Chains A and B, each alone.
Chain A
Amino acid sequence: MTTPTNPADAALFDAVTTEHGTIYGYGVVSAHTTPEVNALVADALAVHRANREAGIAALIARSAPTPLPAAGYQMPTAMDSPDAAAKDAVRMEENAATAWRAVAEQATAGPDRALAVRALTDVAVLAARWRQVTGQTPVTAAFPGGTE
């Protein structure tokens, strides 16, 4: 499986790869978080699955290769407590935001940029909801996925 050489396809390929890892990671997050955040974990999984499928559909539509999920993923931290798991969820959402912003910047067609805006919005909202859980401030990043 090689990354496409076209920058627009490569960014989308990377975003789908990130979504595969995020969906895997939420399984681990779910194992460690408290019951109070079950609804948030469920929302996050549904959103990431939908964005992964939308990304795969966009790649298939132009006959670009699609990434397969890996057998396993390295988690950002040991995730040995509910708080650590919630903080890793924030990190995963921030990584996903970076990937989808790259799609917005590299895209050469309006529909791909619209997909990127939707996905970036989804993960920015999830990141903010997780920051409310961890008590991190500010709750909302002014430029999700960006370095401004």
Chain B
Amino acid sequence: MPNAAPTVSRRHVLIGVAALALGGAVAACGSPSTPDPAVDVLTGQLEQARADSTLAGAAAASAPPPLAAALGAVAAIRDAHGRALSDELARLGSVTTTTTTPTTTLPAAPAATPQQVRAALQQSATAAGQAAAGQSGYRAGLLASIAAACTTAATVNLAGVAA
């Protein structure tokens, strides 16, 4: 008995593979059109953390030793916040730039004062707290911790700095 082999030609197989690839590409195109709104929130928080760290570092450079150490600690805290936010953005599939403000612009900028750092931290605490209320799960917890750390840095680390 002759074998009724299925007549699937090589050409048909190739067409099928091409169709599958096209379908996959179309499906992949659908995802970037609906970005996670958390990306914008976290990106804003990341920029604020980096700005605070730069500001505190600049203020530390011209402050007397005890205050310089406190400002250095503040810069380290905000730097850690930046890294955690960057990690969370990476988990969300968003690529963030690792470069901060170009150093060439720093000499032209006016020297930062401890008062400016304290005010910036208080603004950051408020912004992170509001952002936490609008997020959920890990992101809400992370932003809540960032808000708490900013208030603590402003009121305990920089307790001696007049408001």
Task: With CB as the reference atom, state the residue of chain A lying closest to B144.
Answer: A104
Are B152 and A121 touching (Cβ within 8 A)?
A: yes
Q: Find A144's partner among B133, B137, B140, B148 (CB 8 Å cutoff).
A: B148
Q: How many residues of A contact B (CB 8 A)?
A: 34
The answer to whether B157 has its CB under 8 Å from any CB of chain A is: yes
Contact A117 B129 (CB under 8 A): yes
Task: Name the one of A104, A111, A129, A142 contacting B80, with C-beta atoms under 8 angstroms.
Answer: A142
Contact A113 B157, CB 8 Å, known A101-B144, A107-B140, A143-B80? no
Interface flag for A116 (CB, 8 Å): yes
Roughly how many angstroms separate A127 CA and B84 CA in the complex, as a whole number?
22
A143 touches B142 (CB 8 A): yes
Residues of B within 8 A of A124 (CB): 145, 148-149, 151-152
Decide yes or no whether A35 CB sits under 8 A from chain B. no
When chains A and B are docked, how far (Å) is the Cα of A129 from the Cα of B151? 12
Bound CA span A101–B132, Å:
11
What separation, in Å, do the CA atoms of A100 and B151 have in the docked complex? Answer: 16
Chain B 124-150: CB-based contact to A (< 8 A → 1; otherwise 0): 010001001111111011111111110
Q: How far is the CA of A110 from the CA of B134 in the complex (A)?
A: 6
Report chain A residues within 8 Å CB of B80.
142-143, 148
A contact patch SS: helix
The interface-forming segment of A41-49, A60-68, A132-140 is A132-140
Of all chain A residues, which has the CB nearest B139?
A: A105
Interface membership of B113, Cβ < 8 A: no
Q: Please tell me if A141 contacts chain B, counting CB pairs below 8 Å.
A: yes
Q: Considering the complex, give the chain A residue whose CB is closest to the CB of B87.
A: A148
Check B138–A145 contact: CB distance below 8 A: no
> Considering only CB atoms, which chain A residue lies closest to B79 in the complex?
A142
| Alpha-carbon distance between A127 and B145 when the two chains are bound, in angstroms | 13
| A56 within 8 Å of B (CB atoms) | no
Q: Are B144 and A148 in contact (CB under 8 A)?
A: no
Inter-chain contact A114/B148, CB cutoff 8 Å: no
B155 contacts chain A at the CB level, 8 A cutoff: yes
By beta carbon, the residue of chain B nearest A100 is B144
Closest approach, in angstroms, between the C-beta of B33 and any C-beta of chain A?
27
Q: How far is the CA of A23 from the CA of B38 in the complex (A)?
A: 37
A148/B133 in contact, CB under 8 A:
no
Contacts of B155 in A (CB 8 A): 125
Output the least CB separation between A88 and chain B (Å).
Answer: 19
Q: Is the CB of B133 within 8 A of A125?
A: no
Does A143 lie within 8 Å of B149, measured CB to CB?
A: yes
B147 touches A121 (CB 8 A): yes
Partner of A140, one of B77, B135, B144: B77
CA of A110 to CA of B136 in the docked complex: distance in angstroms? 9
Q: What are 5 residue pairs bridging A and B, where the CB atoms are less than 8 Å apart in the complex?
A: A114-B133, A117-B133, A121-B147, A138-B77, A140-B149
